[in-house]
Structure 1
Amino acid sequence: MMYISRRERFSAAHKLWNYEFSDEKNIEIYDKCANANFHGHNYELIVTLRGEIDKSTGYVFDLKKLSEILNQRVINKLDHKNLNLDVDFLKDLIPTAENIAFAIWNEIEAELKTANCQLHKIKLIETENNFVEYYGQMQS
């Protein structure tokens, strides 16, 4: 089994806010991330695929093609956007790093399934110290 990864970057604004909570509870839970005027991050997205090496190409998956998919399906929709207001696949989600990673997985998974490989992991780095990793639904 071979694992390959591609890193992309985007900058975006968001605020963490649950409209079912009171203002006080939102501030208690999300603190400065609940800023009414939003705040921003320079995110790093690392997408990892796993699979067998294709004997005819030497690839698990063409990383140039992976970059094109990520840019078309994800980066162009997120970069320099307000994640609360501008991104269709984040609609109705609190744009935490966890929810963003989950939504990115759902946005690209079907397009990355091939005979040789499948999506293995989404790693989203929000700050120098904070990141999430998502491996999809657990198989039973």
Structure 2
Amino acid sequence: MIYITRRERFCSAHKLHREEWSAEKNEAIFGYCSNPNWHGHNYELYVTVKGEVDPVTGFLIDLKIMKNIINTYVVDKLDHKNINLDVDFMEGKMASTEVIAMEIFHQLRPHFEAHHVILHSVKLHETENNSVEYFGD
């Protein structure tokens, strides 16, 4: 078994809030992340796949294909977008880094499986100090 990781980047805005809560409660729970005027991050996304190397090509997966999957199904949907308002796979979900990483994983998994590789993990850096990693259900 071999693992390959690809890094991509995107910039997005989001807000952490619950509509049913007051502004005061949202601020108490989410702090500046509940800013009514949103806030943004320069995210770094690390996608790791695993599997067996093809003895003919020497590849687990062609890295151009890996890049295309990540960009088509995730980065193009998130880059320079408002995660709460513009991203179809985040509709109705809390836009926390944890949930974003989980939803990215769910977006990517079937496309890698179609290429006979296993999506091992999604790691999402929200800031240089904060990141989450998700390994699936």
Q: What's the TM-score bracket when you normalise by the shorter of the two chains?
A: over 0.9
Tell me the equivalent position of 1:64: 64
The 2-side partners of 1:116 and 1:83 are apart by 30
Q: Secondary structure at the match of 1:129?
A: coil
| Aligned residues of 1:17 and 1:94 also touching (Cα < 8 A) | yes
Moved over 6 A (4+): none
Tell me the equivalent position of 1:8: 8
Q: Secondary structure at the match of 2:86?
A: coil
The 2-side partners of 1:115 and 1:41 are apart by 31
The 1-side partners of 2:116 and 2:69 are apart by 17
Q: Secondary structure at the match of 2:133?
A: strand
The 2-side partners of 1:93 and 1:116 are apart by 30
| Aligned residues of 2:61 and 2:115 also touching (Cα < 8 A) | no
Tell me the equivalent position of 1:132: 132
Aligned residues: 137
Tell me the equivalent position of 2:24: 24
RMSD of aligned alpha carbons: 1.1
Q: Secondary structure at the match of 1:13?
A: strand
| Structure with the higher fraction of residues in helix conformation | 2
TM-score with structure 2 setting the length = 0.96
**Unpaired runs of 5+ in structure 1?**
none
Pairing 1:35-74 to 2, within 5 Å after superposition: 35-74=35-74
TM-score with structure 1 setting the length = 0.94
